[in-house]
Structure 1
Amino acid sequence: MILSKEFFPRECFFPQLRVVSIRQPAEIKPRRSLPFYARTSSTSWEASSSNNFVRKIDDLPRVDDSTKNQRSIDTETSPSKLSELSFDKLQQSDKENNEGLRRAFGRFVAREAALDEEYWTASWLRAEAHWESMPHMRHVDNYKRKYAEQEFNALKRRCAGREGNSLKCVCIVSVKKEDPNIRRTVLNSVVGTLDLSIRLLLLGEKIPGENKRVCSIPAIHDTNRYAYISNVCVSKFARRQGIASNMLYLAIDVAASSGMKQLFVHVNADNTPAQELYRKVGFEVVDGTSAAPPDQRLLMCLKL
């Protein structure tokens, strides 16, 4: 039934309604999760030690599938977290740590690292040595801490046998001798460190780090195995006490006990004190690398 206008009184008011179209809500796209290195901080920083400047990195590289797989492996099997370290942990006594080869000299003992706190202290010593030439650089302590964290994780991976052509890696540390009247923490006990690794030559290589294009696949033969020394450093306040040379002697013993016939080390061509140290122990410059420019490295070898 249709009602006419006469049906309603004149005083009746008819509101004029306007229909407004309802907008559909925009589609909410799922937020893509950031890579693990982007979640740690809003910006990342890279320090350049060659020209003493700091460069801000805003554009993070894309991560391909292979990198994602490697990252998942590293996170699932990652070593002890830094938050679990006890920086006031006391140094182990000789009875608690009497395994493996060791070398006693003066007030110190060179042996294999056993505690995560010793690995961390070794990493911090390497950070100190890396930034030693730039003590007045702004925020240098932050860069040292970042360097030490990265080196700690890398060191734990190396010692777990999860790096490249390295079959085995041993972190050697020099610690102060046990004193019944003094209880030292690990941080105050470790004064020197180096890495000894058992490696395989890559296909096409005749010597480690040969300057020629080689295949990245290791040559799996016993004759291609060799020992390699790296990351030799001593605390600034404990130098000139025979710490570096005695750690090298212990590394030689460990390499010989592992059946190695050659022990290699790289040294900067302009680092004369280091070259004299290695020659004192018995290393010789490999033929073909003695004419390297000052900004390159020499390869030295010791036959066991």
Structure 2
Amino acid sequence: MAKLAGAARVKTFPAAGKQRSFRRNVTGWLFASPWILGLLCFYAIPMLTSIYFSFTTYSILQPGEFVGLNNYRELFHDPLFWKSIYNTIYFTVFFVPLSIFIGVALAMMLNMKVKGLAVFRTIFFLPTLVPQVALAVLWMWLLHPNFGLVNGMLASIGIDGPPWLSGEAWSKPSLILMSLWGIGQAVVIYLAGLGDIPEDYYEAAEIDGASWFQKTKAVTLPLLTPVIFYNLVMGMIGAFQQFTLPYTLTKGQGTPANSMTFYVMYLYENGFRYFKMGYASAMAWILFIIVMALTAVVFMTSKRWVHYQGK
């Protein structure tokens, strides 16, 4: 009888374990359900819907008709579409490398053992707390061609300042300058990466007689490449989505001569000013393909230049 009772108890253990596992799974799914519902309602369903809209003439006010690839064909014959792509690529090509170079340089300076280091770090981080609209208004006054502070300082040393935002040749460089002023968040990430590099490497390099430049080249930069890789990807994605600064500076007009019409600005104008939502959806998916392709290229090449500790 004792053996039979023991056997019965053994048989009930797997069933009880499955029941507890099922309860844990249900509890976990219940806790995750708000996030899952949000993901479906605000990401998955809108994305799938926008694919369909990109093949229609949907305009918010009217359901539209299915037109196949007409929106995409029309985009490739739209000169302002190509102009917006050029402006966005121009900004990305110059801003992303400069932000990495200046961000790493600032992080290395802010990583030095000096008095008042926390104050300096706070000063360089403060611009990231300024809203984009306020930042645009501030720089509009600083770069005003007639009575702006920058041209005033240049005039004091005998240099005629450029027209900055009102000149086609200087509008995008001005925007790059404004954007570089707010790279404090990237600097903080670089500082975290520098703090993660073991001191043993620097001590070994110093014993071998390495100079500061040699230690930077052989130790700091290679071990900082994972952080540089992250900021490169995120910076590239953010640059292709540039919107608030140029839209505020030009009041949505992209002036002068559409030199400040960026891709997402033109997408917004088509979707919410002209109500060409199908056209805007097609633009959104072209942007998605471009960003995904560039990100894939960066990931594929990362094996050659990104170095992780212990590998």
Scaled by the length of structure 2, the TM-score of the pair is 0.23
Q: Give the number of the structure whose alpha-carbon radius of gyration is greater.
A: 1
Structure with a larger share of its residues in strand:
1
Scaled by the length of structure 1, the TM-score of the pair is 0.23
Structure with a larger share of its residues in helix:
2
